[in-house]
Each structure stands twice: as structure tokens, then as C-alpha cells.
Amino acid sequence: MKTLHVNLGPRSYDIHIASGALDTAGEAVKTVCPRAARLFVVTDTNVGPLYAGRVKASLEQAGFAVRVTTLPAGEHTKCVDSLSLLWEDSMSFGLTRTDAVVALGGGVIGDLAGFAAATILRGVDFIQIPTTLLAQVDSSVGGKVAIDLKAGKNLAGAFWQPRLVLMDPDTLNTLPDATLSDGMAEVIKYGCIADRDFFDFLCAHPSRARIMEEIESVLYTCCDIKRSVVEEDERDTGRRMLLNFGHTVGHAFELAGNYEKWTHGQAVAAGMCVAAQLGFGLGVSGGDDSGIRELVELLKAFRLPTRIDCDWNTLVRAVGLDKKSTGDDITMIFLKRMGEAVPVRMKKEDVLRNLEAVFGR
């Protein structure tokens, strides 16, 4: 087992990475929630049938009363109706302030159940058991919880740190290839922004099979990078913005595809390529463009797109570069070199001019 400690004073917690962690969840939860009697487990229709039985058995064996609530799989579940259902269901189960919510699933379930935990009885303990690669390396760590509104994604939420993150790498074996690749976009992002050696390691392991041979250390490295960023900037006002490398343009791609054509990971993959090219064009990135070529090859190895054609006006609007968005400046995240990201405050008109060059307009 590998363990990391996220040091946030009274909101500190451990991340456990261990094959078989699902079957020892009960003892682990008991350690961090010694006063809890009831656990309200939230999962989805894909993950529940695969893993909820094992988790429930382990939690019950440790003495907890457990209710499992299963919601439909998919982003549309991250909505106010589901949140309201969880509020009511947890009350009918008799959850009290010393009990806890357990999220068993991908980022959708983690974000939704986390927001429920932040609001039930003005906040109860929360355990993350992430089962997608994206959730294991990103969304389960750092305490951002949210639901989507009609106006956009993640628009209602909170910072609510978990008491424990338990990840079992074996759960990744049941992920479809495309869902694993989505998570790989974020894994590759960590190499780009913070660790050249890790980026090189990924280049030397360019397939699902090769990554899975080293999965515990891949998860550890990614979570360690996220840990250090979150410890420094829990509330996302400074260094945490570096995690947005590839996301500004990526969000535009997601929006242009109505959140259906491109998954988050695919959009981020193509967004990282645009950001890397922009940084190079602007002279922020030193040296030659070999890092960009390596990034493109690595993304392709995981069947991630390196270029997405997007309607120009949508792109401009979504990146916040249109005249209606306030302020003249925008903070972009660029690579100083492969393995080191920097925030760069720029005039929007300069970003636009350089984006035109990248998109060949």
C-alpha cells in the first residue's frame, strides 16, 4: 500500500492507494470516523453492480449500518434533483452529524456526493472511494465538490475536503478504454506541468497495459503533485490554477461539442496541444518544439485527440475573449519547459492574435 498525507491543518487527510482497498474499507473508515454509526454510500448504475457489494460488506463487517443509494451513471446525474434526492434519502436513513457520506464511483459521484456531504446537516464527514482514473488522480483529491446548473458545469459547489481517499487500482480494470484514456489526459497533464521525469516515464509506457503494470506509482505521483498544489493553495487563488493547463481552450471544445461530442479528457488533450503551441509561439517556452511533438505522440498513443476543429466564435466566447466578457486580461497557463508550468497574465487581444495563428485563420 502507498499512502500520502494531505496537510491542511484541521482538514488534513490520507490518500491510501492499495490493491484490494475496497475489501478493507471498513477498518480504514473506522479509523477516521470513530464516532460514526451510519454510512450513506452513493454510487452509480455502472459502479454499484461491480463494487458496492464488496464495499458494503466490508463496512458492515466493521460495525457500520450502511445504506447504498444508486443513481444513473452519467454527467446528467450531477444535478440539483440528485442532490435533493440524496438530502431526503440520507434523512430517511437517519444520518446524524457524526455519520458520514461515502462516494463510490467516478468524478460525477464524487462531486455530487461531496456536495451533499457539505450540505447535509450543515456538513458531515465524507469519504472518497474513486473508481475512474480521472477521479483517482484528480477529482477525489482537493475538496472541490459541485453540481452542474443549466447555466454551466460545476456552478454550484463548495470546498469540502474528504476525511479519507481510498483508491483501489484494480477497479480500473473494468473501465472502458475511452474512459481510461480520459484519465490519461490528466495524468499526462501532471507530467507537463510539474515533473519532466514523470513525463519521460509516461513516454516510455505508451499503452494501457504498460501503465497498468506501474499503476500504483502512477497514481502516487499524480496525487503527490496534486497534494502539493492543494496544500499551497486550497482555495484556488494562485498555484492551483496551474492545474488548468489545457483546460481553458479545452472547456471551449467541450462547450462547442455541447458536452456530448468530446469528453473532458479529450477536450483537455487537444487543449494542452493548443496551450503548448501558444506558449511556444509567445516565447514563454524555451528551447525547440520537441516537447510539443513528444506530447502529441503521447496523447495519440492513448487515442486522445491532439486537434479539435471548433467554430471560431464559440472558441472566442468560451475562452472568455469576446467583448462581452469583463476585463482586458486573462491568465493563461503555459509551459516554461516540459515539466514546468507558469501562469501568464495576458491581454485578451494578444491571446486572440496568437490563437488565430495556431488555428491557421
CB-count burial class (<10 Å; 0-12, 13-18, 19+) for 359: middle
271 binds ligand NAD (CB under 6 A): no
231 binds ligand GLY (CB under 6 A): no
Q: Which residue number, 55 or 229, has a Cβ lying nearer to ligand GLY?
A: 229
246 binds ligand NAD (CB under 6 A): no
* Residue 254, contacted partner among ligand GLY, ligand NAD, none, CB below 5-8 A by kind: none
19 binds ligand NAD (CB under 6 A): no
- Residue of 7, 61, 174, 331 that binds ligand NAD (CB under 6 A): 174
142 binds ligand GLY (CB under 6 A): yes
Contact 341, 242 (CB under 8 A): yes
Min dist. Cβ of residue 111 to ligand GLY (A): 10
Distance CA 243, CA 24 (A): 31
Contact 97, 71 (CB under 8 A): no
- Residue of 17, 33, 36, 47 that binds ligand NAD (CB under 6 A): 47
14 binds ligand GLY (CB under 6 A): no
CB-count burial class (<10 Å; 0-12, 13-18, 19+) for 250: buried
Query: Angle formed by the axes of helices 177-194 and 290-301, to 10°?
Result: 160
Which residues, other chains included, contact 63 with Cβ-Cβ below 8 Å and sequence gap of 6+? 26, 30
Q: Which residue number, 221 or 263, has a Cβ lying nearer to ligand NAD?
A: 263
255 binds ligand GLY (CB under 6 A): no
Contact 152, 78 (CB under 8 A): no
Distance CA 30, CA 63 (A): 9
Distance CA 328, CA 341 (A): 23
Transcribe 214-262 into DSSP letters: THHHHHHHHHHHHHHHHHH-TTSSSGGGGGGTTHHHHHHHHHHTTTTSS
Contact 70, 109 (CB under 8 A): no
Q: Which residue number, 73 or 284, has a Cβ lying nearer to ligand NAD?
A: 73
Min dist. Cβ of residue 130 to ligand GLY (A): 13
Which residues, other chains included, contact 42 with Cβ-Cβ below 8 Å and sequence gap of 6+? 68, 69, 71, 86, 101, 102, 103, 104, 105, 109, 112, 113, 116
Q: Which residue number, 83 or 242, has a Cβ lying nearer to ligand GLY?
A: 242
- For the beta carbon of residue 340, count every other beta carbon within 10 angstroms: 16
26 binds ligand GLY (CB under 6 A): no
Name the strand (E) or helix (H) holding 111: helix 107-119
Which residues, other chains included, contact 194 with Cβ-Cβ below 8 Å and sequence gap of 6+? 225, 229, 242, 339, 340, 341
Stretch that binds ligand GLY, among 59-67, 68-76, 138-146, 207-215 (CB under 6 A): 138-146
- Residue of 11, 30, 205, 240 that binds ligand GLY (CB under 6 A): 240
138 binds ligand GLY (CB under 6 A): yes
* Residue 240, contacted partner among ligand GLY, ligand NAD, none, CB below 5-8 A by kind: ligand GLY
106 binds ligand NAD (CB under 6 A): yes
- Residue of 58, 132, 285, 354 that binds ligand NAD (CB under 6 A): 132
Min dist. Cβ of residue 178 to ligand NAD (A): 9
Query: Nearest Cα to 276, choosing from 361, 347, 354?
Result: 354
Q: Which residue number, 28 or 175, has a Cβ lying nearer to ligand NAD?
A: 175
Size of site (CB under 6 A) for ligand GLY: 6
* Residue 175, contacted partner among ligand NAD, ligand GLY, none, CB below 5-8 A by kind: ligand NAD
131 binds ligand NAD (CB under 6 A): yes
Footprint of ligand NAD on this chain (CB under 6 A)?
44, 46-47, 50, 73-75, 78, 105-109, 111, 131-132, 134-135, 138-139, 142, 144, 153-154, 171, 174-175, 179, 182, 264
Footprint of ligand GLY on this chain (CB under 6 A)?
138, 142, 144, 236, 240, 243
